[in-house]
Amino acid sequence: MNYYYIETFGCQMNVHESEKIAGILEEKGLTRVSEASLSDVVVFNTCCIRDTAEKKIEGNIGELKALKRARPDMIIVISGCMTQQSGRAEALKKRFPFIDIILGTNNQYELWDKIERLISGKKKLISIDDAEKPPISEDVPICRTSFPNAWINIMYGCNNFCTYCIVPYVRGRERSRDPELILKEITAATDSGYKEITLLGQNVDSYGSDLASGMNFYKLLERIAGIEKKFRVRFMTSHPKDLSEDVIKLIAEHKNFCKNIHLPVQSGSDSVLRRMNRKYTKKRYLELIDCIRKYMPEAGITTDIMVGFPSESDEDFRETVDLVERVRFQNAFTFVYSPRKGTPAAAMEQLPPEVKKARITELVARQNAISDEISRDYLAREYEILVEDELDGVVAGRTDSGRLVRFPGEKSDIGKFINVLVTKNKASSLYGERV
């Protein structure tokens, strides 16, 4: 075996877990290729957050059948959240018998062991750890692919059980990493030239709640703030029921912390929020927004919003639109509710597709208009940009508040901090020139 291919579906957590899968394979001497047809090991790292995502993945898995027929020695691995659902691994094995290895979210570290067992003559292998609190594997190598950003998990799992969400069922309960190991990983990444650290967790604000040491998210950020290097820190995702004023103040006071907070609201209706089991009200959410703007007037605030939740009325939807108008998010990730088998909301009364479509269309149009209006505030102002990418002589990077800016540059600029004057905005995108 010489080559491997990984296709990642879903969130940033999955992107980082694919970096660990790549680390395992590269440690064994394999080289990454850009096409599945060229590889000896094909890994699909899957997502099941929405039904549409799962159907897309199944379609892509089906396309591997012809590759496997042409190259019987190719090893096909399916991993991630989709496989972790109850009974899902066996169903995948039955529908796609050409799959060789199926790994759950908590078993990806077993990849090479399973490959060796397969080569030695073992038949189809399935490894799914469905314990509520599976152990954290800390010795997995990482092959980072997102320079100049380094993804770093601070915790795994979720205890919230929002009624629409499958995550607690496929990720298990909250488990926090040792703070010393987190700090060691941050130091190693910045020593290697990474300029942005993104802390990952299903609910970063509850970090440390399972640790006997008294460590919490505020104290962890305080420790990170003490690292004397030039780099940026972002984190995701915060939960409105847990984000504290102390954390907001700390972010405002330290230059390394980006003034950019992603705070999913999901709905502006208290009745919908109750049915979602979100554990906060519209009033409380708006108080948090006021608190953020009190300490960071120019903070970039982004969110997730779901429309079409079971029994959402026209009045409920109007409450959501009202919240969007009042908060004026920099950006919002909007989506239509999709039933997830095994969650309480899937058994609730569902709305007609045409109602969902009309609501999402209206919401997206209003948010796009707000984003465009906010973009005008950036014109004729200078920002420090961390360059992330380059294409055809144009580089792109983000402001401290999270806005993407494009300007002339070259590949060697990636990873550099460059001062840029914003000169134009078009369809919510910003363009500028070096100062």
Question: pLDDT value at position 214?
Answer: 94
Exposure of 323 in the CB half-sphere (CA atoms within 13 A): 28
The pTM of this model reads 0.93
Over residues 244-248, mean pLDDT: 97
pLDDT of residue 135: 83
CATH of domain 3-127: 3.40.50.12160
State the pLDDT confidence band at 428, using cuts at 50, 70 and 90: confident
Q: At what angle do helices 314-327 and 282-295 cross, to 10 degrees?
A: 10
CB 197 within 8 A of CB 150: yes
Helix (H) or strand (E) holding 425: strand 417-426
**Helix, strand or coil for residue 127?**
strand
Mean pLDDT across 192-197: 97
34-59 tens-digit pLDDT: 999 999 999 999 998 887 788 889 99
Ranges of each domain in the chain: 3-127, 146-258, 264-377, 382-434
Mean pLDDT of 242-255: 97
User: Mean of the pLDDT values across residues 404-411?
Assistant: 97
pLDDT per position as a tens digit, 121-175:
877 788 887 777 888 889 899 999 999 999 999 999 999 999 999 999 888 899 9
Residue 45's H or E segment, with its range, is strand 41-46
- What digits encode the pLDDT tens for the residues 336-356? 999 988 899 999 999 999 999
| 354 CB-near residues (< 8 Å, 6+ apart) | none
**DSSP secondary structure letter of residue 410:** -
Helix axes 179-191, 217-225, angle to 10 degrees: 30
**Common-topology check for domains 146-258 and 264-377:** yes
Residues whose CB falls within 8 Å of the CB of residue 185, separated by 6 or more in sequence, listed in order: 152
The whole-number average pLDDT for the span 174-187 is 97
Average pLDDT over residues 266-287: 98
Contact 307, 363 (CB under 8 A): yes
% of the chain residues with pLDDT over 70: 100
| Interatomic CA distance for residues 107 and 129, integer angstroms | 7
Maximal C-alpha separation, the chain = 66
**Type of residue found at 383:** Y
pLDDT at position 129, please?
Answer: 78
In whole angstroms, give the CA distance from residue 256 to residue 25. Answer: 33
Would you tell me which CATH number, out of the four given (2.60.40.420, 3.40.50.300, 3.30.750.210, 3.40.50.460), belongs to the domain 146-258?
A: 3.30.750.210
Topology (CATH) of 264-377: Transcription Regulator spoIIAA (3.30.750)
pLDDT of residue 342: 87
> Mean pLDDT, to the nearest integer, of 307-320?
98
135: CB partners within 8 A, 6+ apart: none
Pick the CATH number of 382-434 from 2.40.50.140, 1.10.1740.10, 3.30.1330.10, 3.30.70.980: 2.40.50.140
- Mean pLDDT for the chain overall: 94
What number is the average pLDDT over the span 382-390?
A: 97
Name the more confident of 107 and 183: 183
Q: What residue type is assigned to position 50 of the chain?
A: R
